[in-house]
Amino acid sequence: MSWKIDPAHSEINFTVRHMMISNVRGRFEKFDGLVEGDEKNIANSTVDVQIEVGSINTKEAQRDAHLRSADFFNAEAFPYMTFKSSRVEALDASHGRIYGDLTIRDVTKEVVLDVEYSGMAKSPWGTESAGFTATTTINRKDWGLVWNVALETGGVLVGEEVKINIEVELIKQA
């Protein structure tokens, strides 16, 4: 059974430390994806997502331009990051893990998403939707995002650890 991400009701957000003292949050505004779900055997399900890196939004235009540059995502050369699942694991009725390959700047590494199922609903227009929350933490340097500046007071300008939080609403496809 095919499910498509509803971008109007979904978000891909991230958090990273700034100057070792605060968190900066951002999101990607443009993405799409498809889930092939097997309700009888969840392990047979697959997830395939494409994110437009140029759509990054941290509410600071100068920072967003820098993140799009070759110092970070190099959006001109690598306009998309992708996630393709390799394994789906149910832990209980509403929790699971999705293992998969995250590709950023042509570097592919496995990540594990901790997933919580929020339920299903039928819209007034007759469509069926399912909701999920997924989280993971990655080290940006593993994908070649190594730019940084040492601080006079010790530490660095941009943290290495990036926390990712995904809220997704899927729409069942006919």
3-state secondary structure 103-114: EECCEEEEEEEE
Count CA within 13 A, CB hemisphere, residue 101: 7
pTM here?
Answer: 0.93
**For residue 9, what pLDDT is reported?**
96
CA distance 57 to 117: 26
**For residue 42, what pLDDT is reported?**
87
**For residue 154, what pLDDT is reported?**
87
**For residue 39, what pLDDT is reported?**
81
By DSSP bridging, strand 46-52 and strand 128-139 are unpaired
**2-172 topology per CATH:** Lipocalin (2.40.128)
CA distances from 145 to 59, 129, 170 (A): 20, 35, 30
- What pLDDT tens digit does each residue of the chain (174 aa) get? 899 999 999 999 999 999 888 999 999 999 999 999 888 888 889 999 999 999 999 999 999 999 999 999 999 999 999 999 999 999 999 999 999 999 999 999 999 999 999 999 999 989 999 999 999 999 999 999 999 999 898 888 899 999 999 999 999 998
Sequence spans of domains, the chain: 2-172
